[in-house]
């Protein structure tokens, strides 16, 4: 889903707790799409940009995940890893030494 939503080899996401997130403007332009039984994706109704996703699964239920490409300011990650590498683009070679998880 990340490759399709981003039109790229992968999506780079960060997470914040749901209770710590609030839109400050434009909330009336945000639309939702339930892409699977457990996942709801939010996107801009004007340009279609993916804004975030949330999950009903217990281990993710308190979090909202958003693509770092939507930020106007730099984000310096303190922890990094590759997740869902079992479904990565077959032509993308991961060679940076960060831990890899086949699924999350």
Provide the domain count of the chain: 1
69 pLDDT more than 90: no
Q: Is 13 within a domain? A: yes
Structural domain that includes position 49: 2-73
70-81 pLDDT per residue, tens: 888 877 767 678
13-39 pLDDT per residue, tens: 889 999 999 999 999 999 999 989 999
Q: Is 45 within a domain? A: yes
pTM (2 decimals)? 0.72
The pLDDT of residue 2: 64
Provide the 8-state DSSP code for 65. E
Q: What is the length of the chain?
A: 104
Closest Cα partner for 42 from 34, 27, 31?
31
Q: Is 53 within a domain? A: yes
Task: Please list the alpha-helical segments (H only) found in the chain.
Answer: 2-6
Mean pLDDT of 59-83: 84
Which CATH number does the domain housing residue 33 bear? 2.170.150.70
38-58 pLDDT per residue, tens: 999 999 999 988 899 999 999
Q: Is 28 within a domain? A: yes
Q: Is 102 within a domain? A: no
1 pLDDT more than 70: no
- CA distance readout (Å), 51 to 36, 64, 95: 17, 10, 28
Cα separation, 10 vs 88, whole angstroms: 7
Q: Is 94 within a domain? A: no
């Amino acid at each position: 889903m990340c490759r399709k939503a981003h039109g790229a080899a992968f999506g780079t996401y960060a997470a914040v707790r749901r209770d710590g997130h609030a839109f400050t403007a434009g909330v009336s332009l945000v639309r939702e799409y339930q892409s699977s039984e457990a996942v709801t994706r939010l996107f801009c109704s004007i340009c279609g940009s993916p804004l975030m996703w949330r999950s009903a699964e217990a281990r993710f239920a308190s979090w909202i995940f958003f693509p770092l490409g939507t930020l106007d300011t730099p984000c310096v990650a303190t922890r990094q890893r590759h997740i869902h590498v079992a479904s990565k683009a077959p032509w993308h070679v991961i060679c940076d030494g960060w831990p890899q998880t086949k699924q999350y």
